[in-house]
Amino acid sequence: MSMPLVFDRPLVRRRLVRALSEGYADFLLVRAIEDLEERLSTVLRTFSLALDVGTPTPIAAEMLRRSGRAETVIRLSPVPEPGSILGDEERLPFSGERFDLAVSLLALHGVNDLPGSLVQIRRALKPDGLFIGALLGGSTLTELRQALTQAEAEIEGGVSPRVAPFADLRDIGGLLQRAGFALPVTDSDIVRVRYANAFALMQDLRRMGLTNALHDRRKTPLRRAALIRTAEIYAERFGDPDGRIPATFEIVWLSGWTPHESQQKPLRPGSAKARLADALGVKEGAPAPRLDKK
């Protein structure tokens, strides 16, 4: 079975090229880099060979080189870029078990086959190699999604897909396990940014390469009346008392290790050497102590 085409991948890359040429809006990427540095600070090792998988700009590779956390960094760039390998996050051009660390920031939410990309990343890592990624999650742009849907229904008499279906945090941990990663961890960071109006938000989305690149998008632009109505609904439903509007971005973090014999493993069922009743200080079969919240 072939994977469904959710995104027009060539268009995704063209939109990123345009965003970079117009001045990439990097505030989310800068926040992700700061978080990545903090997460790597808890790992007590230096990585000999690291891979940056599709981060929109070289900022992640530059941080890894500058910090000394990686001796050598190879960057797979989605667009032509000096000193990088041009490639696609869905088709990694690397042999197996080559890297000690792989990172990917704000890129994998735009692939059609996220499970397949995760499998390829895991295969590119050596045993006991680490993957840390960040992608936009399901709460991202929820306000804009609702405003667009209502406005288009009112003005156009129907709706078409306008905002990407970002991955849900609850599903991503399972995807890591399916891809063969050990010790998977997922969490999310909710970022709310305030704008003067919906048009200012849309301009930032253009400068991040995040305008509509869905495969089944309607090919004609949204009518001016529908855009104006979108801005009105956005302000009415979500606006702050001072007239500005909030925009939600959810950054979902995922990490996992390629399996290795040195890693912790769960105990076998029945291997415990102490009884739970003894640990709780109660007789076996007695009601468990109640824990009341104050």
Q: What is the mean pLDDT of residues 105-126?
A: 94
Does the pLDDT value for residue 285 go beyond 70?
no
User: Which of the residue ranges 32-36, 147-151, 268-272, 284-288 would you say has the lowest mean pLDDT?
Assistant: 284-288
Q: What is the mean pLDDT of residues 114-121?
A: 94
Does the pLDDT value for residue 229 go beyond 90?
yes
Strand pairing report for 245-257 and 182-195: antiparallel
**Domain for residue 98, yes or no?**
yes
pTM here is 0.84
Which spans in the chain are helix H?
Answer: 9-22, 27-40, 59-67, 114-124, 142-156, 169-178, 198-207, 224-238, 276-280
Please give the residue range of the domain that contains residue 214. 9-262
Domain of residue 76, CATH code: 3.40.50.150
**Domain for residue 290, yes or no?**
no
pLDDT at 5: 80
- The position carrying tokens 């009105």 is 232
**Mean confidence (pLDDT) of the chain:** 87
pLDDT at 261: 76
Tell which residue, 64, 113, 70, 65, has the closest CA to residue 88.
113
For the chain, the 3-state helix, strand and coil shares in percent, each to the nearest 5, are: 35, 25, 40
**Domain for residue 277, yes or no?**
no
Per-residue pLDDT band for 92 (boundaries 50, 70, 90) equals: very high
**Domain for residue 270, yes or no?**
no
**Domain for residue 282, yes or no?**
no
CB of 277 closer than 8 Å to CB of 174: no
Per-residue pLDDT band for 289 (boundaries 50, 70, 90) equals: very low
Does the pLDDT value for residue 233 go beyond 50?
yes
pLDDT, greater one: 77 or 271 = 77
Q: What is the mean pLDDT of residues 208-225?
A: 80
β-bridge partners, 254: 133, 186
- Per DSSP, 145 falls in state H
Does the pLDDT value for residue 77 go beyond 70?
yes
CA distance 261 to 244: 54
pLDDT at 125: 97
CA distance 66 to 45: 16
Sheet containing 182-195: order of strands: 85-86, 70-77, 47-53, 99-105, 125-136, 245-257, 182-195
pLDDT at 38: 95
**Domain for residue 272, yes or no?**
no
Does the pLDDT value for residue 223 go beyond 90?
no
The string of pLDDT tens digits covering residues 149-184 is 999 888 877 666 666 667 777 788 888 999 999 999
**Domain for residue 274, yes or no?**
no
Tell which residue, 38, 74, 70, has the closest CA to residue 53.
74
pLDDT at 292: 45
What tokens were used for 218?
A: 């309607």
Q: Into how many domains does the chain fold?
A: 1
**Domain for residue 195, yes or no?**
yes
pLDDT at 273: 61
Residue 174, CB-side half-sphere exposure with 13 Å CA sphere? 5
pLDDT at 215: 73
Does the pLDDT value for residue 1 go beyond 70?
no
pLDDT at 169: 76
Does the pLDDT value for residue 267 go beyond 60?
no
pLDDT, greater one: 282 or 58 = 58
The string of pLDDT tens digits covering residues 19-72 is 999 999 999 999 999 999 999 999 989 999 999 999 999 999 999 999 999 999
